[in-house]
A and B are shown apart, each in its own frame.
Chain A
Amino acid sequence: MKRQGPVLVAFVTGVIVLAGYFFNSQTVVDMSTQIVRWQNIVAAFALALGGVNMFRLHGKNIIGRKKNWVYSCIFMVAFVSYFVLGVAKSTTSAEYQYIWQNLYQPAASTMYSFTLFYMTSACWRAFRIRNWQAAVLMVTGAVVLLGQVGIGAAISEAIPAVSAWIIDTPNAAAIRAITIGGSLGMVVMSIRVILGLERTYMAGRQD
């Protein structure tokens, strides 16, 4: 029940969806379409998992007056009030959009733009030419870096042309190889999941 049941669920759903693709029977196609559509609902539940987890974590912080519990209060107020607003007045309401536009959006964009700063530091400290592979990577990286923007063309007309050739030819060949290899791997892994040979998605829980 605890291990064989889930394996059976993965097998049955996987086989029906596959059958819907490979066989031309309307009943099977309808079943397959239905199962795939249900996945939207289950995945929607999964979206709340992170929120519930953080809610528990910060709730414990507040109740136990742990270190930095005041920040947990800020999280709680933001989480609960925005969730209630969204459910009660819908995401299309002016209030919901106001908060999204003026608090959430700027914070999220700024948070993600951090990566550039760390990448800049890495350019100075970490990217070292220690062997021929690193040299090839850096030279092609430099050409593509310049070739993608106007300054490359301003230095020499050849730079954007070489950059485009790198992306179109050797890069395309390498990506094609990776794609073929990766796709074969995905197919094999998917078959293993459906047949119940791959059960890592059940790991992490003893009971």
Chain B
Amino acid sequence: MQQLKQTHIIWIVLTVAVLLPLIFPLKLPLGPSPEGEAAYSFIDNLPQGSISIMVLETAPSNEGELWPMALAVARHHMEKQHRIIMATFVPDGTMYAEKIRALAESDYGYVYGKDLVILPYRAGGETALASMADNIRAAYQQDHYGTPLTDYPLWADVKSIKDISVISCYTAGDDHLWLARHVWAKYQVPCISGNIALSTPEAIVYFKNGQLVGLISGVKGAAFYEQKINMPGLATQSMDAQSIGHLYLLLLMIGGNIVYWKQKKDGKNGKQGAKKNV
């Protein structure tokens, strides 16, 4: 019971510590992100009308990190008047694609079919992505709404994956590896990965090797991107709370170890004392 109470106190303090900077922002500095900068520059330098594919592997389980960055990159594409194709290999992805479509139509005057298309969900993960890369026109005949893709002017300009200027993915899984394997290695189409912070230590290697032209990493990467396009949003708002959360968990680790070492020392002293008494 004592253990349970201590756990609850730890959790309540965590909630309050993270909540306070959301209510009262601290406006802490964000710091650089060279890989995020590379992603921004690449997209920024694409000419108007370029076709990009956004692979939305976003789901409720990871939307806290991936949705802000997908939104920021989509806005950037729209600002630069690029044409966007959205694809997904997770069942929830099309829900987020529809949100981007709504934003594109309301805020940027995009016309569905001409400037933007949503491809249907495809099961199979890596194999489905490989299938798209190998023959995109064979892999997709209809859009998400069941309309033949040949009805859309945008699709007329997509003969193969090589007609795509950049493919970006927003993933909590291995999509950045799949892109490196099946898109970059086979067809040399530039790829950008937007991934959860947890994948950064792995994805950074692919960026350094040149297999990814840019990397947007977790909430920090999303916040960095939001600031680059001058549209601070969901991720920027979260960064102060992230700071305090990190600090709190670090203090818990240090505190836990101090208690551990003290207990260990007391235990040793106790044993020595017991021996002396004997």
Q: Choose one: A40, A112, A117, A128; the contact of B14 (CB below 8 Å).
A: A117
CB contacts (< 8 Å) of B242 on chain A: these are 148-149
Give the contacts of A103-153 with B (CB-CB under 8 A). 104-109, 111-113, 116-117, 119-121, 123-129, 138, 142, 145-153
Known A33-B138, A151-B243; contact A91-B94, beta-carbon cutoff 8 A: yes
Instruction: Using A120-B14, A120-B249 as known contacts, list a sample of 13 further A-B pairs with CB atoms less than 8 Å apart, ordered by residue number in A.
Output: A37-B131, A106-B60, A112-B60, A120-B11, A124-B255, A128-B257, A148-B218, A149-B246, A150-B239, A151-B28, A154-B29, A167-B201, A176-B205
A81 sits at the interface (CB 8 A): no
Distance to closest chain A CB from B242 (angstroms): 5
Distance to closest chain A CB from B234 (angstroms): 13
Q: Closest 7 CB pairs between A and B?
A: A150-B28, A108-B60, A151-B243, A43-B123, A43-B124, A44-B123, A112-B61
Chain B interface helix/strand/loop/mixed: helix
Q: Choose one: A127, A128, A175; the contact of B201 (CB below 8 Å).
A: A175
CB contacts (< 8 Å) of A171 on chain B: these are 201, 204
- Report whether B31 and A160 are in contact in the complex, using a CB–CB cutoff of 8 Å: yes
- Report whether A127 and B253 are in contact in the complex, using a CB–CB cutoff of 8 Å: yes
Give the contacts of B218-232 with A (CB-CB under 8 A). 218, 220
A36 sits at the interface (CB 8 A): yes
Interface size, B (range)? 35 or more
| C-alpha spacing A113/B200, complex, angstroms | 19
Q: Choose one: A100, A120, A168; the contact of B10 (CB below 8 Å).
A: A120
CB contacts (< 8 Å) of A147 on chain B: these are 31
- Report whether A47 and B91 are in contact in the complex, using a CB–CB cutoff of 8 Å: yes
CB contacts (< 8 Å) of B205 on chain A: these are 172, 175-176, 179
- Report whether A145 and B204 are in contact in the complex, using a CB–CB cutoff of 8 Å: no
B64 sits at the interface (CB 8 A): yes
| C-alpha spacing A145/B125, complex, angstroms | 31
| C-alpha spacing A147/B250, complex, angstroms | 12
| C-alpha spacing A97/B243, complex, angstroms | 34
| C-alpha spacing A46/B253, complex, angstroms | 42
CB contacts (< 8 Å) of B252 on chain A: these are 120, 123-124
A92 sits at the interface (CB 8 A): yes
Kindly report which residue of chain A lies nearest to residue B202, judged by CB atoms: A175
Q: Choose one: B62, B95, B201, B248; the contact of A97 (CB below 8 Å).
A: B95
Give the contacts of B129-175 with A (CB-CB under 8 A). 130-131, 134-135, 138-139, 144-145
A39 sits at the interface (CB 8 A): yes
Distance to closest chain B CB from A31 (angstroms): 12
Distance to closest chain A CB from B174 (angstroms): 11
Q: Choose one: A33, A43, A109, A146; the contact of B246 (CB below 8 Å).
A: A146
CB contacts (< 8 Å) of A138 on chain B: these are 253, 257
| C-alpha spacing A100/B34, complex, angstroms | 37
- Report whether B10 and A121 are in contact in the complex, using a CB–CB cutoff of 8 Å: yes
CB contacts (< 8 Å) of A172 on chain B: these are 204-205, 208
| C-alpha spacing A7/B133, complex, angstroms | 28
